[in-house]
Structure formats: structure tokens, C-alpha cells
Amino acid sequence: MEQTTSPKYARVKQTAHIPTTVLGQGALKAFPNAHRVSEFFDLNTLCPILEKIDPDFADPQEVTVKPFSGGVSNLTAQLKAGEKTLVVRRAPPGKKAATAHDMVREARVLKAVRPHFPMVPEVLHVEEDPDILGTCFFVMEHLDGHVPTSKLPVKLGPDQAKALCENLFDLQAALHSVDLEATGLSNLGKPEGYVERQIQGWSKRYRDARTEDVPKAERVMEWLEKNRPEEAGAALIHNDFKFDNVVLSPQDPTRIIGVLDWEMATIGDPLMDLGASLAYWVNRDDPPGLKAMKTQPTTVPGMMTRDEVVARYAERTGRTIEDFTFYYVYGLFRLAGIAQQIYQRYTLGQSKNPRFAAFGQAVGILIQQAQKEIREYENRMNKETQMTELLTSRAFRLDGKVAVITGSSRGIGESVARLFANQGAHVVVSSRKQESCEEVAESIRAQGGKATALACHVGEAEAREQLISQVVEKLGRIDILINNAATNPYFGHILDTPTSMAEKTISVNLGGFFHMSQLAGRAMREQGGGVIINTASVNGVSPAQYQGIYSITKGAIITMTQSFAKECAGDGIRVNAVLPGLTETRFASALTENEALLKTILPLIPQGRVADPAEIAPAFLYLASPASSYVTGICLTVDGGLLA
């Protein structure tokens, strides 16, 4: 057994025992079965050891135990005898020898690092005999101060908050600047290939732990693998460096006096360490979902933004950091992996903590933020080329895109399919009858286009799901969805609308559009973006007489379009609608072939005629193409001036 002398005694003042924010310290770091703390830290067994550190801990009856919110991989407790306090850290019960060995490793890291980085708590004893507590453990000093969580322990002004923020990352920069060779710390890890190991390791862990209700994240993993930078050098890294792992001075809450939780410390790429830290760093202008997960006091006035943190770190280390996207995306994905592993254990019943039930949602938010960062990075890298092409005919090209068009065996849908194929898209012709779809698809292929025929009744859930899964399986992706299939089985007074016809119209026109948008939208979210276009109608704005239920569903589609547009923009999905006027199709033949009705309708249309489907299709092309890259949530009317 190891022993040290001249211990320091102090008290850590926790500002919150178990915070309740999603992915908060209390969630990721919940002490299991707190009522069994005396079992986890058996004083009758511990006190003979603690007595050798300080005689005041000799009598178990005079020692109290209080659990701290230690990591899920290790448990930490405060042991107090009178005014003196010690900290004991151990592996959870039931863990295998490998985890216990990690416990000993952490203690050795603390002892090795402390002479060169004085913010490390002093280790007073390391116990490698697992029979004493059922696992290895170590004893260390307490540091007198505050451990901040989602809120600061005291209110700070903007200047103080900025100073604290600067001190935090100056300290991380100092850690990364420790001379590994001069201090003999180079043997704490293997820096060669660190970035590659992290990306491949977290990708495997995420795939192994993934549940059906969280994103596949394949695009994030592929992007990280393809965009791996050269190693930024070898440094001593903490791997969990953030506010709730530091201790603030009670006299000056802007001054950091200690850094805790070194169990993941190693030798690796310093920018990866900074990226892992910034995954927890929420800006004041971040999306609501990300702010709901805030576990650090990073949004108080005066706190630096992520970009400002990177700039400060670069200044302090002398590094040139041209773009930090890779490291931040890595940090987000790593945190998603950590949360997903916990969430999987919860779904399997291996963990009962109710807070873990929200972790699946948290994983989705983190992956969404990673996708957003990737998309914005790619836009920055490609902006010059993209903007140049917008001023050419290529602005309307759909080369390489996969477009699913429902109701495309005739009418407006068929015209859209033919136009899209002409502009380079691989179109999926879909309608209720396979032979009708195949006829159009074959015609497109005969003209040199790419087309696949897949029948689908959009009013049926199983058919919708099969269509989307087949497209993804056969063609690899969905870039564009045109919700065009519709029905209008009743023409007559709204009060006399048969229930069956009302329900059928709602099921196809509204339910079909909504669920198809959901299914395709989820696929688009996984791949980083896409386009959804809904065929609404001028009737949705100005209801036509004797077309009540049809007009109602088309009006609802307009609202649905706007709702999807607002919520899906953050996923890189644009959602718009086209509102055709009276068009020469079989669908509208009850109107276009009725001369008496036409005589009353045509005078209302300034252009005085019925549209051809080919005149409607270009509106869809505009909304599907790069030409409308800054357009979402609009309703594009093509009606010969009817609604003017």
C-alpha cells in the first residue's frame, strides 16, 4: 500500500447537487443508489487506512460520508471528520478488473502530472488491493472552492465572466504546453494516430450503441473520416476539460484553483481536446434545442463565444487555426456517443435513472448541430463556385439528385418528372398503379433520362414506408420530394359531403403529404439536407364553390408547408409549395370539360385560359434547384393571375 504525508484538508462547496438539465452533470454524473453510500464506502474498512493519513479518521463513528456527483464510471465521496475532509474515489460496484485498473491509472496520472501542473489535487493514498472495498480506490485532498455547474456560484458582471472564461482556456492552453519530454510524461499515452483512433473508435461505439429512435449519423462519421486533419502535435490532454471539472476560488470566483476528474487524461492532439470541451459550450444565439442541453454557465453576459474561445486559445498557444469545424464536429459527435451509450443501457433496462430517458432526444440535437456545422463548412468552402453557377443556366440543373414525385403517372406530376429528368435528376415515378408508373419511366429512359417506377398509395402507411425505404435502398438517398398525389372525389355542397369522401380526401391530400414529408424528411436529415415541394392549390387561398373539403385540405397544406419550413431549415431542408390554378388535366376534367362552368371561371382569370401542365412544372424546377437556395416556406402561385 502506498502512503503519503503532509495532507491538505479543505472543503469543496457544491453549488448544486444534481442539476436537472438534459445531459447535465446530474444526468451524466448521477451517483447510483445514494442511499447505499455506506456500502460503497465502508468506513469500517476505510478508516484503518485513512487513520494512517490522519489520526482524526480513526473512529468510523466520527466520520461522515457524503456522495458527490461523480462520473458514471467512478464514484466519489466526501469523508469528513470534524473540520477535516478527504475525498475517496472508487469504481462502481460490479465493474470488472479493467475498470478498477483505470481507477489506479487515474491516481498515477494525478501523481505524475501534479509536479508540473499544480492545479491537480494531491493524491494521498492509492489502494490497489481490490478486496478492501471490492475494487481499487484512491484518497485525495479537497480543494477549498466552488465547482460551477449550469449556473455560476455567484453573480458575475460581464467583465468578470469574460475574465473567468479567459482563465479557463488559458489554463487548458497551459496544460497543452507542458513539456512532455522534460517532465517524463510522454509515456502516459500514444499520440501517433490519435485523431484516427478517436474517429474510428467513436464511430464504432456509436454504431454499436445506436437505438432505432436516434439518427444513424453516417454522414457525420463519413465526413469526419474524410476530413481528418494532420495531427496538431502531442500534448498532455485532459479529455473532459470544462467548467464542472474545475474549482473556483472562494475569494475570487474568476480564479481557478484546481482541475478535477483526470480519468481520461492522456497524450494526444490538443485541438481534439479543445473540440471536446467546446461540445459543451453553448452560445447565447444557439438553437433552442442546444440551449436546453446547457450544462455550463456559458450564456451569462460576458462569456466568450466558441469562436472567441478558439481565437483566445490560438493566441495563447501561438497556433494558427484557420478553421475549427472538424474539431467541434468531433466534440459534438463524441458527446453524442457518450450520451448514446448511456441511453442504450437505459433502454435495455440496465440503468433505471429516469433522467436518461431524455438522452435519445439529446443525441438527436447533438447530431443535428454537427450536421449544421458540416453544412455551413461546405457552404463556405463552395460558396464562390455556387454563387458563380447561380448566374448561369446551371442554376436550374439537378444533376445527381434523386427526386421522388408522387402522382406522376399523368398530369402535373408527369410534366414535373419529365422536366426534372431533362435537368439531370434520377426521378422516381410514383402513382397507385405500377404499370402506369412504368410507362412514364420507360418513356423518360427512352429519351436518355434516368427514371425508376415505384407504385405507392400515399394514403396507406405501409405503402408510404415501403416507397421511401425502397428509394433509399436502391438509389442511396432522397434529395427531392414532390408531394403531388391528391384526390377530389366529391363535387357538391359542403354540408352534404359524405363522411367517407371527406375522410378519404383528408387521408390522401393532408395525411399523405404530412407522412410522406416526415419519412422523406428524416432521410434528408440523415444525409444533410434536401427539398420538399407540396402541390397545394389556389383553392387553398380562395375556396372554390362545391369543392369544400378539397379546398380545406389544400389550405391546410399551405400551413403545413410553412410549419415544416420553419422546423426543418436547421436540418438543411427547404420546404415550399406550388399553387396551380385551373390546369388541363384528367384530375380537373370535371371543370375543364364543362363548358358552362368554364364560361363562369375563365372571366376570373386575367389571362383568360386554362394552363397546360408543362406551364406548371417550371415552378417546381425553380423550387427544387439551386436557383432557390435561399427560398423556403413560400407558396408560389401559378394561376394566370387569378389571385392577383
Residue 91: predicted pLDDT:
82
The answer on 412 and 349 residing in a single domain is no
CA angle 196, 202, 203 (to 5 degrees): 90
Residue 20: predicted pLDDT:
35
Residue 102: predicted pLDDT:
83
The answer on 355 and 218 residing in a single domain is yes
Largest CA distance in the chain: 106
The answer on 413 and 293 residing in a single domain is no
The answer on 244 and 122 residing in a single domain is no
pLDDT band, residue 601 (cuts 50/70/90): confident
What is the rounded CA–CA span in Å between residue 283 and residue 307? 10
HEC sequence for 339-362: HHHHHHHHHCCCCCCHHHHHHHHH
Q: Which amino acid is at 393?
A: S
Residue 595: predicted pLDDT:
78
pLDDT band, residue 267 (cuts 50/70/90): very high
Residue 94: predicted pLDDT:
61
385, part of any domain: no
What is the rounded CA–CA span in Å between residue 122 and residue 87? 10
386, part of any domain: no
149, part of any domain: no
153, part of any domain: no
The answer on 215 and 304 residing in a single domain is yes
What is the rounded CA–CA span in Å between residue 264 and residue 259? 13
CB neighbourhood size of 517 (10 A): 22
329, part of any domain: yes
The answer on 200 and 102 residing in a single domain is no
Burial class (CB in 10 A: 0-12, 13-18, 19+), 606: exposed
Cβ contact 123:53 at 8 Å: no
**Over residues 435-447, mean pLDDT:** 98
The answer on 209 and 122 residing in a single domain is no
Q: Tell me: the pLDDT tens digits for 369-413?
A: 999 999 999 999 999 999 999 999 999 999 999 999 999 999 999
583, part of any domain: yes
The answer on 205 and 101 residing in a single domain is no
HEC sequence for 7-47: CCCCCEEECCCCCCCCCCHHHHCCCCCHHHHHHHCCHHHHH
Q: Which three cell numbers stand for residue 187?
A: 509515456
Residue 96: predicted pLDDT:
53
The answer on 363 and 234 residing in a single domain is yes
pLDDT band, residue 124 (cuts 50/70/90): very high
Q: Tell me: the pLDDT tens digits for 405-421?
A: 999 999 999 999 999 99
**Over residues 43-57, mean pLDDT:** 95
User: Domain boundary residue among 86, 116, 143?
Assistant: 143
**Over residues 431-437, mean pLDDT:** 96
Q: Tell the residue number behind the cell numbers 427514371, with chain if given.
A: 451
User: Domain boundary residue among 355, 380, 405?
Assistant: 380
588: domain CATH number is 3.40.50.720
% the chain with pLDDT above 90: 81
The answer on 336 and 428 residing in a single domain is no
Number of domains present in the structure of the chain: 3
User: Domain boundary residue among 327, 348, 380?
Assistant: 380
The answer on 420 and 289 residing in a single domain is no
Q: Which three cell numbers stand for residue 494?
A: 359542403
State the first-to-last Cα distance of the chain, in angstroms, to the nearest integer. Answer: 88
230: domain CATH number is 3.90.1200.10
Q: How far is CA 207 from the centre of its chain?
A: 15
Whether 100 has a pLDDT exceeding 90, the answer reads: no
311, part of any domain: yes
**Which residues have a catalytic role annotated?**
550
Whether 599 has a pLDDT exceeding 70, the answer reads: yes
The answer on 502 and 442 residing in a single domain is yes
Q: Tell me: the pLDDT tens digits for 522-562?
A: 999 999 999 999 999 999 999 988 899 999 999 999 999 99
CB neighbourhood size of 433 (10 A): 12
Whether 304 has a pLDDT exceeding 70, the answer reads: yes
Q: For the chain, what is the mean pLDDT?
A: 90
CA angle 147, 153, 158 (to 5 degrees): 115
131: domain CATH number is 3.30.200.20
39, part of any domain: yes
More confident residue, 12 or 246: 246
List beta partners, residue 465.
none
What is the rounded CA–CA span in Å between residue 211 and residue 201? 18
Whether 319 has a pLDDT exceeding 90, the answer reads: yes
Q: Tell me: the pLDDT tens digits for 242-261?
A: 999 999 999 999 999 999 99
For residue 89, give its domain range: 12-143
